[in-house]
Each structure stands twice: as C-alpha cells, then as structure tokens.
Amino acid sequence: MSPVRSSGALACFGRGLRASLSKPYLAVSLWLIQLLLASVLILPVSNSLHDLLDDSPSASRMVANPDLGWWETLLRTHPDLLGNFPDLLTGLLTPEGVTSSKLSGLRGIGAAAVSLGLLAIVLHAFALGGIFGTLREPHGSLVTFGREGMRRFPAFLAFTLAALAAALLAYRWVWLETGLALNERMRELQSERQALAITLARVLLLAFVLSAIKLVADSVRAIWVARPDLPPVSRFFAGIAGALARPVRLFGVLLSAIVTILTLYAIWIVADPSAGGEARFALVPLILTQQVFVFLRSLIKVGYYAGISEALTRTPSPEYSYVAAPSSAAPVAPPAPDDEPPLENPAGAV
Amino acid sequence: MGSAKARILLLALAGALAAPAVPLPAAPLAAPVASYEISCRLDPEKKTVEGTELLTWTNTTSRPAPTLQFHLYLNAFLNTRTTFHREAGGIARGVPIPDSWGSVEVLRMTFADGTDLLPALVSISPDDGNPDDRTVAEVTLPRPVAPGETVRVSLDFRSRLPRVFRRTGWKGDFFMVAQWFPKIGVLQEAGWNCHQFHANSEFFSDFGDYDVSIDVPSRYRGKVGATGKRVEERQGAGDRVLYRFRQESVHDFAWTADPDYVVVKDFFREAGLADVELLLYVQPEHASQAARHFRAVKAALSRMGRVLGPYPYPTLTMVDPPWGASAAGGMEYPTLITCGTHVIAPATLQKPEEVTIHEFGHQFFYGMIASNEFEEPYLDEGFNSYMTDRVLKATYGPDHPVVNVFGYRIALGIDKIYPVDAERRFFDVSTQDIHAQPSWKFRDGKSYGADTYSHTALALATLENLLGVNVMDRALRLYADRWRFRHPTLNDFIRCVNEVAGRDWTWFFDRTFRSSGNVDYAVEKATSTRAKAPKGLFERDGKLVDGPPPALARVRGYDSMALVTRRGETALPVDVLLRFEGGKTYRSSWNGEGRWKRFRVSGGPRLLEAIVDPDEKLALDEDHTNNGKRVVPDPRAASRWTARSVFWMQNFLDTLTVAW
C-alpha cells in the first residue's frame, strides 16, 4: 500500500528541504554561481579599500568595528565609488520609490553591482532549469544540473523575463502609481495611524502581488518540467492552472521558506560574526562562516523549489507530478521525455 | 580636602540648590519699539482671520521717517508669481506646494491724527524688484515721524490662510496662524529694513508688547495656544469663545487652534534660572510622548540657560502639528515653538527631542538676540544648531543609535544640520556660496542649508576647540547679555570673542564665514627609514678623506618624514602628531598657511604614523579620513571589509534572484 503523504504547505516544504539536503550539489551550484558573480567585485572593492584604508590610522579601529563616520565621509568624498546605489536600495519603499531614471545615478561599484544583478537573474533562469530537472532524477549530479539547466534555459529565461517584467509593472502600478494617487489624500487623513495603515496595506498588497507573480512563474516552471508529455502551450497553461488550483498551499510553501530564511538571518544578526572582527573571527574563519551562511540559504532556496514541486503533486501522483505514482507492480522506468531527447550524440561528436 | 573646606563647599552647594528661582523682572525686558493690540476672529470654514490692529511705533533712529514699511507676509502665497513661489520652484520643505493660496489685505489704515493712509499704501519689492510680489508695502505719512517720536497707526485686515505648506495655514480644523498680520519693518539709520518673503529666509522685526484677543468657535475651547501668557478666557457672542494673550518684549506673535489638541502642563524650576510654565499642545496619537518633549525642553532650558542666560519669559508653549501638517512643525515664534513627531518614534532616535531642543534654542538667537534672519541667517540657525548639538550630546550622549546589518552599520536619526556630535562627519558641504550671506542670495536650498546650519555650527565648534570651551562660553554669554533684545551682527559677536579671548580673532571669521572656502588637511606621505651614515669626502686634519669622521659615522635610529598638505582653500592653524615606536610622540604646530609642510625627525625611533589635527579640533575639516598616514600599512581592515562586501553582494544577488 502506498504511503499517503500530507499535502499541507509545511509538509511540502519539509519534503522539499529533505530533497534539497539529499542533493546538496544543487545548493552548491547556486552558491557557486553567486560567489563567482560576487567575486567580480573583489578586485575593485579590495583595491579601493586597501588604497583608502591600509595607510590610514583609522584602519586599526575598523578591523573590529566599522567606523560609521569613515564610511559616510567616504561616500561623500568619493561619490564615484557607488553613486546613488545606497539610495536606490533604501528608496525602494519610499513614497517616491525608485524609477528607472535613477539608474543614471549609479557609478563605479554600485553600477557594477546592478549589472551583476541583471546577469544573476539570467543565470538564475539557467539554475532553475537545472534544479527542477535534477529534482526529477533519482540519481542526479552536477552534470545533470548543467544538462537540465541548458535544456530548459530558453523557456525558463522567457519565464524569468516575463515574471521580472510583471514584477516591475506591479511595482510601478501597485506602489508608485498608488502612492502618487494617494499622496494628497494621505495628507488629508485625520491621523497618522490611518496613513500608516494604508501604507501597510499597500506594502502587503505589493508583497502579495509580487508573491503571486513568483508563484505563478514557479508553478509554470515546475509543471513545465513535470509534464514533458504535454505540448509547450499546454504545459504553460497547466502551470498557471496549477498555481490557481492550489494558491493557499503554494503561498504556504513560500511563507515557510521566507520564515526559514528570516530565521537564518535573525540567527546571523544575533550571533553577529561579521562584526567584532578579529575579536571574534579571524579573516579566514569569517569568510568560511559567511560562505556557510550563503550555502545554507541556498539549501533553503532549493528546498523551496522542491517544495513547490511537492505542492503541485498529488498522491498518488497523476498528471501533475514529476514523482512516479507508487505502484505494487514492478517499478517501471519513467518514460524519457519525448520532446527534448538527451543529447546523446552532440554535434561534432565522433 | 580639609573637613572645614568640605563643609563650606557642601553648604555652598546646598545653598545653590536651595536658592530660589530668579524672579521675573517687573520692568519690561526691552524698550518697546513696535507694540500691537490686535483683536481677531477666526472663521474656520472660510479659513480666514479678520482683525483690527493698533500699532504703536517709535522712531528710534536719529532721522525723521516720512514713510512706514510693512510686511504682508501671507501675500507670499498669493499666486505663483510671487518671489517666494519663484524661488521655491514649486517645492517647500521637499514637498510639492499645493494649489492653496494665502493673502493678507489691509482694509483700513488710519494714522494717529485720523488721516486715511490706505490710498497711499503701495507694494514695493526692495530685494528683487518683482512687480508681482506684494509682501512689502510702503505708506507715505502725512508728516514725517520725528526721531524719538511715538505714533499710532490703526488698521483693519483680513488674512486668508493657505493649506499649510510653509509654516502657516490650516489642515482640517487645525490652524497654525503665523506671519498673519500687517507688521511694521525695522527702521535703521540706513533706512527701512523690510525684506520680501523669500523661499529660504526667515524674519526680522523690532521688539514690543503684544496684547492679542482671539475669537474662535467654542469647539476650540481650551485648545488655543499662543505667544505669551493667557490672561483671559470668556464666552463670546453666540457659539464663540474669546481668548486674550499678552506678552512683553517679543517681536512676533503666533497662535494655534485645534479641537483635537491634548493640552499637557509642566513646570520648569532650577536654581539660578527663571521659573517657566510649560504647555504642550499635543496630538492625541502622540500624547504618550509628552514626557519626552518636557524632558527635552527642560534640558534645553537648563543647559542653554546656563550658557546664554536665563530664559526670561514666564511661559513656553510647544505645539505638535497633526498628521498632514508637518510643514507647520519645526518652527519658532516668541515663547511658542512647533515641534513634530511620529506615531512610531523610538526613544533612541531622539526625533521629537532633537526638534524640540532646536526650536527652543531659537528663543535665544531668534527670540531675544534677534539678529536679522534675512541678512545673516547663520546667526540664528547656525548658532542654534551649534547649541542644539551641545545640549543633545550632554543630555542624551554623543552616540546615535546604529542598526547593524551584517556588519554594515546604518546610523539612525542623524540629522545633517546638527553635525557636531560624535559622528560629525555627517554634514552637508557647500562651497558654492560665501558662507555668510543674505538668505535669498544662496544658489539653492541645499547650499543655504549647508552653509547656514551645518557650516556655521562646525565653524563654531572649531572655534570652541581653538579657544577652549570656557572662553567660548564666556564669549557666548557676553554676546547674549550685551545684545539681548537688540539686533546684533556678526561683527558684534566677533567683538565679544576678541574681548573675551584677549586677541583678535577676526581672521578666523574672515576665513570661515566670509569666504566660500573649505577646510581639508591631509597627511600625504609618511616614511621612516633606518638612518644611514653619510658618504663622500669629508675634511679631516685639513685634508679631504673618503668617509665620514667617527662621530658622524655612528648613526642610530631612523630618519622619519611626514608631508602634510592643505587641500582645502581655507587655512587654519593645525597640530601635527608623529607617533613612534616605544610610545614616543612628537607634536608640532603648523600655521597651515602654505600648501604643504614637511616634518622631519632624524635618528629617532621608527615612525609608526603621522596625524594632522590629532585632537580633531578642526571640526570644519570636511574629510577626516585623510588626516593620518601609517608608515607600515595595516591591511587587516580592508581585507575584512572586502570579505564583508562580497558577502553582502552574495546576499544582494540572492535576494534579487529569489523573486523571479
């Protein structure tokens, strides 16, 4: 008799985490992508900091604790280092928000960071193809990850760009435009509490819409991989239908992942290994601790995507599941996807 | 310390603590020049205040006055062609100016002898010649007012208040009524000093006695606050209530009304200072922060009072504007200040405290010393920012709260107009204008703010560091005592400094106030190499021989050098500290005049680092990060910060990609 699996959001997320832990190379691949992208900035940042700090008597003070005044002076006296990058980050939820015109204020490392962000989004589309594809395989590996990522890349990049465009539109219409429209009326409200309540409602609405966009995109990705038997258009709409059919469960998985990641951040902030400098960690242990943190976050991230796949799976698994339906009969090898055959004889092979 | 001495000291201390508060002076604090008796009536529906004004004015100059000039401030909000609107460019305090208009109309003006002055009243624009600006009006009198003569002018006026966006106006049932009545300018020997209403400037007027009756609907009963002391409350005709306020020796009058106010009272009493009744008109949703307001204002009353002399008025009214009317907050009027806070205002952020202390500080520089805010705005805002910083630091400590986000510290509550705290590197810098110049002549609002507030505060902090805090306090006290209820200029303050310091410090003010220069000293280079014996031909026994004599050949220690440069335009004297191995130091001074100076030490221990301005006396130094140089680089901090930067970048990328 086949085990009946719980279809609750927490259970799905839990199973997703287990899947993530059973295939840690997926988190490793995510971690590696981010590390390689971030490492582009190592030389510019390192050279600038060594140039500014090494000869400075402030350096000895800043090993353990950052000198706030030093940083602020640096930003004021070297505006070309970051440009308005800090303002962009902190201005996202201000009433004025961040518009594309403000990107022209980016400079130096700040501009490079945003460019890397765009590159990361593209690479993430590849990584998602690898993750979803590898999760289907009973015995996957990094090779599987790369192969599956490349196979899904065109479609997944399209999903990613579409989701990104939808999110930008949502930001504009749900946050910026409502902010502009409500600006006058907000000031006419009787009390600040009312204004805060409306602002909170706008934040929640924005979060909800962004979450919905993300969940729809992730659902389409999961179904795209799980149902290779369907034509692409059907897979796409089946993905949307999957999100619409199980909204609560999907939101639950997302919420579970967010809570888990926030817990991880809370632990980091309380433990505070970054601050304290040599009093707490020497350089190498500090770097290792930081990378362990990023890896753990990547594990949770992979767990989330596996959880989404779980949430779209019914037990026994019928049409939407990438998991083979339990059967008392002898296990049958899952049929190979007929639309995208593996590259057994790649071009140029002898 | 001997026991007798200790007893005497204790007795003296006890006596000081038990000393009664300074009694209020019976006589007027200042000779009245421009006194007003006003009766006005608020129409909350039409947003108007109609009133009758009796002005009693004395010509204190040595020349007859054939004309009178009046400020009609509310006409600044008449239309978009006024000087205020043109200068503001549609923005006030960072917020778009709404299409809400204000005006003040003079309906009747009668001279003491009954002559109708209204036909002779014309608008003038002494500052910019803008024919569309009606914020100053001039009337030619039937006869000149003789020197020393006192005349009376009676007038009726109607003020229409705008939706509050620049200090004054309404929001719903809330009214902040300021700059609201026709107000005479200041006649000086050179003529009338009566400037137009500008986007960046504040005000200037003569002292006098105010007796103001305010007629409001009865729903405002008990919810009317104003300059001075309330002397009467009585039922008016119909559903109205009438309040009367009086105050001597002030130069303006403002009032507020809001049926939602929660009125909280407290009292300030401290030995050696005058008693003050404190009134807080606070919004219901901020009522829980009343104690914070009182603590802040008491700290300011105490600490500023001990430096600048006691606050002499019997009352101080604090006003908390409602939501949507923050443009009325953060402003000062005689004995009345507007503060401002939020529902979410953690105590560590010190936000209502900061604005309360700052606005109270204006009671000295704007209120009593009363310099010309049009022409020398820094004498009020800058001096007050300097004192605000001192009170904040002394009361709440020097450090601002900091949130640590993965090793990156985000400072909270730092306001760049109060830059003299422990994190004083937070300040706006402007070298676009002469630092000390009339308020409307600054290139833009940012330059005005940077020069008037933070630059002046930093200049005074620098002066304090160069003079010593005791000399600085004595100079400030002399300035405050000598010029209380008069109209001093920067020169008057300089004379006080010179008098107390016993030296001429005019040069300091010429460089830091009357220039557009910046201050920046840096250590460009620091080296320390093992001393080498000299080589070459040396005279020995009358002959030139190869190699130095034994005395010269014996070398020990290191030859060290530090090159200090002046990167800023402004030269100030500065100390240089060389720190050597073994804890030895060498301190030298440089007058800072040249572009660079090299410091050499031969044969000493190995130099570790060179620091210019090691005591950070030059608060004006706009870049403290280049004030030192190590001989042997220390890469630890940069390496750690690089690691943190990569970590932040990874998290940034992860957060960015998690969404799609």
How far apart are the CA of A308 and the nearest CA of chain B, in angstroms? 14
Closest CB from A38, A45, A63 relative to B637: A63
Q: Would you state the pLDDT for residue B554? A: 84
Q: Is B635 on the interface with A (CB under 8 A)?
A: yes
In chain B the first and final C-alpha atoms are separated, in Å, by 75
Average pLDDT, chain B: 90
3-class DSSP state of B654: helix
Percentage with pLDDT > 70 across chain B:
91
Tell which of B341, B629, B646, B648 to mutate to test the A interface (max A CBs under 10 Å): B646
Which of the two residues, A321 and B579, has the higher pLDDT score?
B579
Secondary structure (3-state) at B516? coil
Using CB atoms, pick whichever of A55, A69, A301 lies closest to residue B423.
Answer: A69
Query: Six-digit token pair at A247?
Result: 């909204």
pLDDT at A76 over 90: no
Least confident of A115-119, A231-235, A318-322: A318-322
The domains located in chain B, with CATH, are: 28-252 (2.60.40.1730), 260-368 (1.10.390.10), 398-512 (no CATH), 521-638 (2.60.40)
pLDDT range class, residue A346, cuts 50, 70, 90: very low
pLDDT value, residue B412: 65
Average pLDDT of the segment spanning B204-222: 97
Whether B639 sits inside 8 A of A34 (CB atoms) is no
On whether residue A164 sits in a domain, the answer given is yes
- What average pLDDT does the segment B315-344 reach? 96
| Range in A199-203, B26-30, B36-40 the model is least confident about | B26-30
Is A300 contained in some domain? yes
Residue B97's pLDDT is 87
Whether A321 is in a domain gets the answer: no
Q: For residue A59, is it within any domain?
A: no
Question: Cβ(B104)–Cβ(B72) under 8 Å?
Answer: yes
Residue A244 is assigned to a structural domain of this protein: yes
d(CA B370, CA B377): 11
Q: Is the pLDDT of residue A191 over 90?
A: yes
Is residue A5 pLDDT above 80, yes or no? no
Does residue A271 register a pLDDT over 90? no
Measure the CA angle with vertex A246, ends A240 and A251; round to 5°. Answer: 100
Q: What is the pLDDT of residue B28?
A: 65
Tokens of B565: 């440069």
Q: Say if A280 falls within a structural domain.
A: yes
Name chain A contacts of B172, Cβ cutoff 8 Å. Answer: 188, 190
The number of C-beta contacts closer than 8 angstroms across A and B is 207
CB contact A121 to B (< 8 Å): yes
Judge whether residue A89 has pLDDT over 60: yes
Whether A53 is in a domain gets the answer no
pLDDT at A280 over 80: no
Please tell me which residue of chain B has the smallest CA distance to A32. B650
User: Which pLDDT value is given to residue B407?
Assistant: 62
Probe site for chain A from B320, B524, B607, B654 (most A CB atoms < 10 A):
B654
What's the domain range around A261? 9-43+72-311
Res. A267: pLDDT tops 50: yes
Q: What is the pLDDT of residues B82-111, one digit of tens each?
A: 999 999 988 887 778 889 999 999 999 999
Q: How large a percentage of chain A has pLDDT more than 90?
A: 49
State in Å, rounded, how far the first CA of chain A is from the last one.
48
> What is the average pLDDT value for chain A, to the nearest integer?
83
Q: CA B197 to CA B178: how far, in whole Å?
A: 13
- Residue A22 has phi, psi (to 5 degrees) of -75, -20
pLDDT digits (tens, 9 = 90+) for B390-402: 998 899 877 666 6
| Residue A50 forms part of a structural domain | no
Q: Of A54, A117, A269, which has the smallest distance from its Cβ to B652's Cβ?
A: A117
ipTM of the complex: 0.85
Cα R_g (chain B), whole angstroms = 30
Tell me what pLDDT residue B403 has.
67
Structure confidence by residue, pLDDT tens digits, B473-496: 999 999 999 999 999 999 999 999
CB B247 within 8 A of CB B210: yes
Phi then psi for residue B84, to 5 deg, are -60, -50
Q: Residue A261: closest CA among chain B residues belongs to which residue?
A: B655
pLDDT in tens, B143-163: 999 999 999 999 999 999 999
Is the minimum CB–CB distance between A255 and chain B shorter than 8 Å? Answer: no
pLDDT value at residue A347:
40
pTM of the model: 0.86
User: Residue A229: which pLDDT band, with cuts at 50, 70 and 90?
Assistant: confident
- Residues in chain A, how many? 350
pLDDT per residue over A298-312, tens digit each?
999 999 999 999 888
When comparing pLDDT for B300 and A91, which is higher? B300
Give the number of C-alpha atoms closer than 13 A to the C-alpha of residue B134, restricted to the C-beta side: 16
User: Which among B288, B454, B631, B640 is the top mutation candidate for probing chain A, defined by the most A β-carbons within 10 Å of its own β-carbon?
Assistant: B640
Quick check: B423 pLDDT over 50?
no
| Dist. CA A130–CA A150, nearest whole Å | 7
Q: Which has more pLDDT, B265 or A66?
A: B265
- The verdict on a CB contact (< 8 Å) between B425 and A73 is yes
Q: Quick one: pLDDT at residue B383?
A: 96
